[in-house]
Homo-oligomer: A and B are copies of this chain.
Amino acid sequence: MDSPDQTVEIEHTHVTFPEEMTLECGAVLRGMTVAYRTYGTLNAERSNAVLVCHALTGDQYVAERHPLTGKGGWWETVVGPGRPVDTDRFFVICVNVLGGCMGSTGPRSARDDVDIDPAPVWGTDFPPVTIGDMVRAQKRLIDHLGIARLFAVIGGSMGGMQVLEWAAKYPDAVFAAIPVATAAYHSAQNIAFHEVGRQAIFADPDWNGGRYWQIGKIPARGLAVARMCAHITYLSEQALTRKFGRRLQTAPKDPTEAISLFGDMFEVESYLRHQGSSFVHRFDANSYLTITRAMDYFDLAAEYGGDLAAAFRGTGTRFCIVSFTSDWLFPTRESRAIARALNRAAANVSFVEVPSDKGHDAFLLDEPAFHRILAGFLQGCAVHAGLPG
């Protein structure tokens, strides 16, 4: 796990589209690769496809062993045989987002705008992408797979932003939409936390102006600090207190980090350091910058004159919106604002706030109430869609 280039070696399942892709910023990708994974079987009517959208640091390995970390899929609590998104029934697709680092076109890809052989990688010159760009890339894949209408689109956090974008832009292609622990725009506080992470990356000397691969390095310490800061926002105060409280453990002897009292450190410090250091081996710093920017710029209502309801007017999609009580990164009030906008648009919408003390991360964890809601909503939608039971 020590080689910074390790991920480059992995061959991800992918499609490369020869057509140009014009991004919202105006930049043109001459070709675009979309890496993805599927689970289950597409039925003859092509009517049982469920698109799962991943969050900031997620990827397409939603329900299987991760090829890089060796860990289980990031949403095996939700996606799999007999799980709420049942792969015995549904054909599940998960796509690495545009700008990501697990096989889809992103900062680590070779430039397609220069005639140099071999082409250098994009790095920081990769154009900024938006949640809208990510969704249009996914739409190309769905078209490519011959799926006219997705039975459902589901995702949490940034995945939920993609769900909202899908429902707004392609209402006829989305039978059911499940945005979880998300918002229709990124708040000033969330932008601020992202900016701290970006500044930590910029402050790392191994960042090397964004061209770290040229010196054979990764900005590991800066990226670790970014991850640590973000990780706190994923947990609730209660979860941190329950998991760690003020318990101490023996501090490692590290002459550069001398100041500890009586040779101890808090368990929560050790946990955060581990979160930071393990992250840098599976994620690319330029992708982190690109994707945090995409989240920050997300503001669905802004495209509709500030009226979120206008994004969904006339929609036939069935919505199930889920928030968690202790999520302070995407608090319930932001989900409620989506539900109200959908009500104003006369949409078919359920909204559930799930009691949980696990914070934003609750959507990834074992939350039986959330899973029951998901399973029930999908079963109801299956009946309405005429899916075989």
B196/A237 in contact, CB under 8 A: no
With known contacts A196-B229, A296-B266, A259–B289 Cβ distance under 8 A: yes
Answer yes or no: A12 CB below 8 A from chain B CBs.
no
Instruction: Give min CB distance, A12 to chain B, whole Å.
Output: 23
- The minimal Cβ–Cβ distance linking A118 to chain B, given in whole angstroms, is 22
Q: Give every chain B residue within 8 A of A199 (Cβ-Cβ).
A: 221, 224-225, 228, 272-273, 276
Residue of B nearest to A293 (CB): B259
Across-interface contacts of A353 in B (CB, < 8 A): none
User: Taking the complex as formed, is A305 at the interface, i.e. its CB lies under 8 A from any CB of chain B?
Assistant: no
Q: Is A191 touching B246 in the complex (CB atoms < 8 A)?
A: yes
> With an 8 A cutoff between CB atoms, is A112 at the interface?
no
In the assembled complex, the Cα of A319 lies from the Cα of B222 at a distance in Å of 44
A367 at interface, CB cutoff 8 A:
no
Whether B188 contacts A244 by the Cβ 8 Å rule is yes
B185, A246: Cβ atoms closer than 8 Å? yes
Inter-chain contact B222/A261, CB cutoff 8 Å: no
Q: Does A214 contact B (CB under 8 A)?
A: no
Question: A25-B261, A259-B289 known; A240 and B297 CB under 8 Å?
Answer: no
User: Would A189 and B259 count as touching, CB distance under 8 A?
Assistant: no
Separation of A297 and B125 alpha carbons in the complex (Å): 45
**CA gap between A280 and B198 in the complex, in Å:** 18
User: Which of A57-65, A150-158, A201-209 is found at the contact surface with chain B?
Assistant: A201-209
Tell me the chain A residues, 123-150 only, with Cβ under 8 Å from chain B: 124-126, 128, 130
Instruction: Decide if B188 touches A203 in the complex (CB within 8 Å).
Output: no
How far in angstroms is the closest Cβ of chain B from A184?
12
- The answer to whether A232 touches B269, judged by C-beta atoms less than 8 angstroms apart, is no
Q: What is the bound-complex CA distance between A297 and B256, given in angstroms?
A: 20
Known: A188-B246, A225-B225. A258 touches B293 (CB 8 A): no
Partner of A261, one of B130, B221, B276: B130
B202 lies within 8 A of A200 (CB): no
Evaluate contact between B256 and A128: CB separation under 8 angstroms.
no
Q: Tell me if A373 counts as interface (CB < 8 A to partner B).
A: no
Residues of B within 8 A of A13 (CB): none
Chain A residues numbered 183-199 whose CB sits less than 8 Å from any CB in chain B: 185-189, 191-193, 195-196, 198-199
CB-nearest residue of chain B to A257: B202
Q: Which residues 219-257 of A have a CB within 8 angstroms of B?
A: 221-222, 224-225, 228-229, 232, 235, 237, 240-241, 243-246, 255-257
Check A128 against B260 for contact (C-beta < 8 Å): yes
| Contact indicator A193/B261 (Cβ below 8 Å) | no
CB-CB < 8 A to A269: which residues of B?
Answer: 191-192, 195
Say yes or no for A210: interface residue by CB 8 A criterion: yes
Known: A191-B268, A224-B199, A276-B199. A209 touches B246 (CB 8 A): no
Enumerate 23 A-B pairs (CB-CB under 8 Å) in ascending A order.
A25-B262, A124-B259, A128-B260, A185-B246, A188-B237, A188-B243, A188-B245, A188-B246, A189-B237, A189-B241, A192-B240, A195-B272, A198-B257, A199-B228, A199-B273, A202-B256, A202-B257, A203-B221, A203-B224, A203-B225, A229-B229, A259-B286, A328-B328
Known: A128-B261, A199-B224. 14 other contacts (CB 8 A): A25-B262, A188-B240, A188-B243, A191-B266, A191-B268, A192-B228, A193-B229, A196-B225, A196-B232, A198-B257, A199-B272, A200-B203, A203-B222, A260-B293
